[in-house]
Amino acid sequence: MKKQVKKNLIVALSLAFVASFGVAGLVKTDVNAGAVEEVAVAGNFQMDDGAAIRIKSDTPSGIRWSVTVSESYYNYVTSLGTVQWGMVVDNKAITAKGASATQVDIPLEKQPLPSFNANDGKEETWTYYASITYDQLVSDMEEKGYSEQQIATALTKAYETVLYARAYNVVNDVPTLAVDADTGRSIKGVAMHCLLEETSDVTTGNKDLFETYAGGSYAVETTETLGNENAYSLTEKTGTVTSVDELSAGDYAVYVGAKKITDIQLETDGKISATVAGLGATKYAAGKTYNVRFINADNEVYQVPFLAATHTIATAQEYIDYMNGWSGAASAETNGTSDDYVVLTADINLNATTFQKNQSDWFSGTFNGLGHTLSNAKVDLIQVGPSSWNGSGLFGYIETNGIVENVALTDITCINQYVWLISGYVKGTVRNVYVQGSHSVASGNGVLRAYNASSIENVVVNVTSDKATYAYSDQTAGKNAIVNSYAFGKAASFSNISGETRTVYANGYTFVNENKTELATWGGYWSLKGDTFYFGDTVIAMGGSVNDTLYTAATTLDLTTLTGGAEIVSFSVNGAATAVPANGLYDLTSFTYGEVNELNIVAANGTAITQPIMTASHVISTPTEFMNYMTGWSGGSSATTNGTKDDYVVLTADIDLDGQNVALKTSADYFAGTFNGLGHTVTDMKYTPKSVNGSWT
On the question of pLDDT at 23 being above 50, the answer is no
Confidence bin at 675 (pLDDT 50/70/90):
very high
Sequence-ordered list of residues with C-beta below 8 angstroms from that of 236, at least 6 positions apart, any chain: 312
CA-based max dimension of the chain: 122
Distance CA 527, CA 541 (A): 11
- Cβ proximity of 225 and 305 under 8 Å: yes
Q: 141-149, long-range: CB within 8 Å, 24+ apart, which pairs? A: 149/13
Distance CA 552, CA 618 (A): 8
Distance CA 337, CA 382 (A): 21
Looking at residues 280-308, what average pLDDT do you find?
81
- The SS3 assignment for 31 reads coil
Q: Phi first, then psi: what are they for 231, rounded to 5°?
A: -140, 145
CA 152 to chain centre: 39
Give the number of other CB atoms < 10 A from CB of residue 494. Answer: 20
- Cβ proximity of 352 and 325 under 8 Å: no
Residues in the chain: 697
pLDDT at site 408: 87
If you average pLDDT over every residue of the chain, what do you get? 74
pLDDT at site 233: 76
Q: pLDDT by residue (tens digit) across 186-237?
A: 998 998 888 888 776 776 667 788 888 888 766 766 654 434 456 777 777 7
pLDDT at site 558: 93
Looking at residues 96-122, what average pLDDT do you find?
57
pLDDT at site 77: 83
Q: pLDDT by residue (tens digit) across 513-570?
A: 444 444 445 556 666 655 555 666 555 554 456 789 999 999 999 999 998 888 887 7
pLDDT at site 389: 67
pLDDT at site 345: 84
Pairing of strands 362-363, 382-385: unpaired
Selection from 401, 523, 521, 515 nearest residue 455 by Cα:
401
Selection from 459, 455, 458 nearest residue 446 by Cα:
459
Eight-class DSSP state of 76:
H
On the question of pLDDT at 678 being above 90, the answer is yes
Q: pLDDT by residue (tens digit) across 383-411?
A: 666 666 666 778 888 888 899 998 888 88
- Cβ proximity of 213 and 188 under 8 Å: yes
Angle at 505 between CA 503 and CA 506, to 5 degrees: 155
Q: How many Å is the Cα radius of gyration of the chain?
A: 36
The most confident of 50-54, 388-392, 535-539, 621-625, by mean pLDDT? 621-625
Burial class (CB in 10 A: 0-12, 13-18, 19+), 57: exposed
Q: Which amino acid is at 580?
A: V
- The SS3 assignment for 596 reads strand
On the question of pLDDT at 421 being above 50, the answer is yes
CA 473 to chain centre: 31
On the question of pLDDT at 616 being above 90, the answer is yes
Eight-class DSSP state of 179:
B
Distance CA 471, CA 532 (A): 19
- Cβ proximity of 62 and 87 under 8 Å: no
pTM here is 0.61
Give kind and range of the element (H or E) at residue 618. Answer: strand 618-620
On the question of pLDDT at 596 being above 90, the answer is yes
Q: pLDDT by residue (tens digit) across 423-450?
A: 777 888 888 888 887 776 655 455 666 6
Distance CA 27, CA 515 (A): 64
Pairing of strands 492-495, 482-483: unpaired
Q: Which amino acid is at 106?
A: I
pLDDT at site 487: 63
Distance CA 546, CA 649 (A): 24
CA 117 to chain centre: 47
User: When comparing pLDDT for 275 and 3, which is higher?
Assistant: 275
